[in-house]
Structure 1
Amino acid sequence: MNDRQQIGAPAAITAERPAYTLWQLVTYMLRLGTFGFGGPVALAGYMHRDLVERRQWITDADYKEGLALAQLAPGPLAAQLAIYLGYVHYRILGATLAGLAFVLPSFLMVVALGWAYVRFGGLTWMQSVFYGVGAAVIGIIAISAHKLTTKSVGKDKLLWAIYLVLAAVTVITESEIAWLFLAAGIVVWFWRVPPKWLRHGSLGVVAATQIPTAGSVASTLDWPLLTQIAVFFAKAGAFVFGSGLAIVPFLYGGVVTDFHWLSEKQFVDAVAVAMITPGPVVITVGFIGYLVAGLPGASVAALATFLPCYLFTVIPAPYFKKYGKLPAILAFVDGVTAAAVGAITGAVIVLARRSIIDIPTLVLALATVVLLLKFRKLPEPVIVAGAALIGLLVYPLLRH
């Protein structure tokens, strides 16, 4: 792409020639979507490790901007980060292809699992697999969180305070509170680069980010089922903040309680499918859609969920790039990033409490950390596959 300044886009978004081709980035996202286990925490860490540290395709500043925007906007964090990183050098085309490449592999996997689930009446081996994989994934994401912490927070005392507060809040509430990310950005902005009205002690009005609101869309039994699916999952994608796991309570309320599309057991199985497959956790919507209305239901549910997060990323991206180098914006991004990494670290603890339930799972998690520290080039999929096999062998023995 020799001429990267798009018509109508701010002039400041032009960049130097990238050190990679669009096809290389798409191939990477396909591979990450196929083999990237661990949910948003691990996936964000993998992108930083691979694209910033190892390949140096993306600058640390661009990565931090993408992470901040992904945290501020509703929708699945990892998918939005992938979309933004695709936008950095290849704009709309890069964002679109990177997002599709990241989501498509896991979508195909959950559709295949949905077919098997319907055909064979449930997947009883899921608990065994997740018993092993869940513990190994904790080790993987713990290392990712540690690297993000040392890279993003550094030795800044204010950022450490924000980081620790967000980690504690996430552990206590087991959720990510969107307004705290905004508050963290504003605190660092005001501390490092106080606005003139604040320095002079005069009154002023602070412009706050407005979350788009929309009237609730009533569902009636006269509407076609696919329309109901589209409306519900579009709301899930547009109005749920935080990591992929944050969408689970919202989905439960609609899928099980309101629409009665799935039983409680089917919904738990759907979440388990998302956890044992690579890629974004939110891809569970594909499995749910398949159980409700087959392949059309899976396609509509996935498209309706991911389209809002795509738009919430590419529309503000040029302006985020244009003004991202201003001192006030840099301070704001640092604050949001520290908050995001704190929340990610807290999520590791929350997930660990659910996945590490006995001595074997504790040993698996610790062994994963040791293996990854000792053999830095050991592929995570190898560890996950080994953990799945151990789960299949050990779990039935412990439950009998």
Structure 2
Amino acid sequence: MTDLVKSTAEQSSAETDIVPFSEAMKVWARVAALSFGGPAGQIAVMHRIVVDEKRWVGEHRFLHALNYCMLLPGPEAHQLAIYIGWLLNKTKGGLIAGALFVLPGFIAILALSYIYVLFGNVTFIEGMFFGLKCAVLAVVIQAVFRIGSRALKNKVMVALAAAAFVAIFFLHIPFPLIIIAAGVIGYFGGRIGNRAFQVGGGHKSGSGKILEDKDSVLGEGIPQHAKPNLAWSLKTSGALAALWLIPVAILLLTLGPDNVFSKIGVFFSQMAVVTFGGAYAVLAYVAQAAVEGFGWLRPGEMLDGLGMAETTPGPLIMVTQFVGFLAGFRDPGSISPLLAATFGAILTTWVTFLPSFLWIFAGAPFIEKMRGNAALSGAMSAITAAVVGVILNLAIWFGLHVLFSEVRPISFGSWSLDVPVLNSIAIPSLVLTILASLAIFRFKLSVITTLAASAALGIIWTLSVST
């Protein structure tokens, strides 16, 4: 931590902030408070405030930073906030922007988690989460179409998405291997100049003109602190890596590898390294491991946590905090369940989000000089295409557990899949899912409005059948 403070001081002495630090803090707090609706909504809010309203960063640089963040494992909206905060106010700006982006959601989900475990058997609470589950299923289906329409621009990308779906749904190949394979294919496809892996040259406006950054406060040049500095990157990255990994090592040494907190630290640290492709891709990985592997929670509870994350500010990946909370609550050891749950939530959040700071501070200065790199663009395109197949798997997995009370595994040699028992279909869940899908696809209602309406209908239904 001392190295990180020294590094911040050294960088701050090099030049003044691009914008006043106090004003930047207010803006990042505002961005965090308005960041509902998943990564697309959060990036839109950030763009509206930072690019259109404040004109601190130009369109070209914003998109360049976003492209880099989409190549990284973890939540791209959170990483984008860190990147822009660092550009404007150096290391301290990135730290504050990233911390404020997470804090409101952490507090909200922690409060909802307490209510969930203490009052979850209350009819009102049961009805709310019943409605949220159905709406979340519709939201995930929407994500398949939204990301697919953007990513599957040619037959090669469609084939990559299909292969990723088959690999995870039928063959149960681990998500990280699928994403790594897609990235390698895309990297070499872009490097040899295959047009299928190109994402286009240059960022253009609707009028077809190349977008310029001259009118932004930051301008088109690279600030002194944003120029590649290997010594600064190594010192800062080393301090952040120590803050991330030393607590996990202490847990392993003192509690042993079989302790729930050790498992949380190791699992979510691994997740922070391998989960490329955005929040919904992360959910597929977490759901597979936390529900089927560790048994920390049930499929329906994973949907409850996703409903919490969808209806609170901050990154959608905050659902992992709920997973850590329930893991600690159900395996508290010698301490009280609520204390163990709170520690599980804090530990999960720490190891999930701290690596984002590491990725940005380690790579952003070098990425600032790389514009239009074909190999990196190809890797990003292929990974995004594969993620479509992974999210489709997630939608089907959620659908089976929301719409049917019983599923049965069927095997075909090395292939296997879960199929629903048709007479176990839950008619109320089917009806509410159809209504939520109509709200999103037909009437174009926002995610927040759809979730709120579905929660209300869930409460009404549950209260009516309980009386």
What is the Cα-based RMSD across aligned positions, in Å? Answer: 4.5
Closer/same/farther in 2, CA of residues 289 and 97 from structure 1, 3 Å limit: farther
Q: Matched residue of 1:79: which SS? A: helix
How far apart are residue 320 of structure 1 and its match? 1.3
Question: Match of 2:321?
Answer: 283
- Distance in 2 between the 1:94 and 1:123 partners? 44
In structure 2, what residue type is equivalent to 1:393?
I
Aligned position for 1:178: 179
Equivalent position of 1:196 in the other structure: none
C-alpha distance 98-7 of structure 1, shift in aligned 2 (>3 A): same
Which runs of no fewer than 5 residues in structure 2 stay unpaired?
Answer: 1-7, 170-174, 196-240, 311-315, 333-339, 404-429
Query: Distance in 2 between the 1:22 and 1:234 partners?
Result: 29
Cα distance in 1 for partners of 2:114, 2:194 equals 54
Q: Deviations over 1:176-212 (max 9, x none)?
A: 622213431331232069xxxxxxxxxxxxxxxxxx9
Q: Which moved more, 1:331-340 or 1:122-131?
A: 122-131
Q: 5 Å matches for 1:1-400?
A: 21-32=24-35, 35-36=36-37, 43-52=38-47, 56=52, 61-62=60-61, 64-120=63-119, 128-137=127-136, 140=139, 160-172=154-166, 173=168, 175=175, 177-179=178-180, 180-191=182-193, 219=252, 222=255, 228=262, 231-233=265-267, 235-242=269-276, 243-245=281-283, 246-252=285-291, 255-256=294-295, 262=296, 264-265=297-298, 269=301, 272-278=304-310, 279-280=316-317, 281-288=319-326, 291=329, 292=332, 293-322=340-369, 324-325=370-371, 327=372, 329=373, 331-353=374-396, 354-355=398-399, 357=403, 358-372=430-444, 380-394=447-461
| Matches of 1:31 and 1:49, distance apart in 2 | 10
| Residue correspondences, number | 343
**Residues 327-379 of structure 1: CA deviation (Å, up to 9, x unaligned):** 4x1x234323433443454455334432474344123212222332xxxxx65
Deviation string, structure 1 residues 4-39 (Cα, Å, up to 9, x no partner): x99679x9xx99879x9453233112321xx33xxx
Whether the 8 Å contact between 2:131 and 2:458 is mirrored in structure 1 is yes
Deviation per CA, 1:261-320, whole angstroms, max 9, x where unpaired?
A: x4x54x853563244333323333442365241433322232123222331232111111
The 1:231–1:363 alpha-carbon spacing in structure 2 relative to 1, beyond 3 Å, is closer
CA contact (8 A) 1:171 1:347 kept: yes
Shift, 1:107, TM fit: 1.8
Equivalent AA in structure 2 for residue 363 of structure 1: L
Aligned 8 A contact 2:85 2:96 in 1: yes
Q: Residues of 1 paired with 2:144 and 2:91: CA distance? A: 29
| Cα distance in 2, alignment partners of residues 26 and 185 from structure 1 | 37
Deviation, 1:77, is 4.5
Match for residue 233 of structure 2? none
Name which one, 1 or 2, has greater alpha-carbon Rg.
2
Quote the residue 1:204 is aligned against.
Answer: none
TM-score normalized by the length of structure 1: 0.66
Distance 1:125 1:75, change over 3 A: farther
> Contact 2:123–2:463 (CA<8 Å) still a contact in 1?
no
- C-alpha separation in 1, matches of 2:84 and 2:121: 38
- 1:167–1:345 Cα contact (<8 Å) kept: yes
User: 2:28 aligns to what SS in structure 1?
Assistant: helix
Q: Secondary structure at the match of 1:75?
A: coil
Q: Distance in 1 between matches of 2:140 and 2:303?
A: 18
Identity, in percent, stands at: 22
Q: Give, in whole Å, the separation in 1 of the partners of 2:287 and 2:114.
A: 22
Shift of the alpha carbon at 1:385? 0.8
Distance 1:301 1:47, change over 3 A: closer
Distance 1:53 1:162 in 2: 34
Aligned residue type for 1:178? I
Shift of 1:146: 5.8
Conserved? CA contact 1:70–1:77, under 8 Å: yes
Relative distance call for 1:25 and 1:320 in structure 2 (3 A) is: same
Letter in 2 for 1:277: A
Is the 8 Å Cα contact of residues 132 and 391 (structure 1) preserved in structure 2?
yes
Q: Would the alpha carbon gap of residues 75 and 143 (structure 1) be closer, same or farther in structure 2, given more than 3 Å must change?
A: closer
CA distance, structure 2, for counterparts of residue 226 and residue 306 of structure 1: 19
Structure 2 CA distance for partners of 1:65 and 1:167, relative to 1, 3 Å: farther
Paired position in structure 2 for 1:202:
none
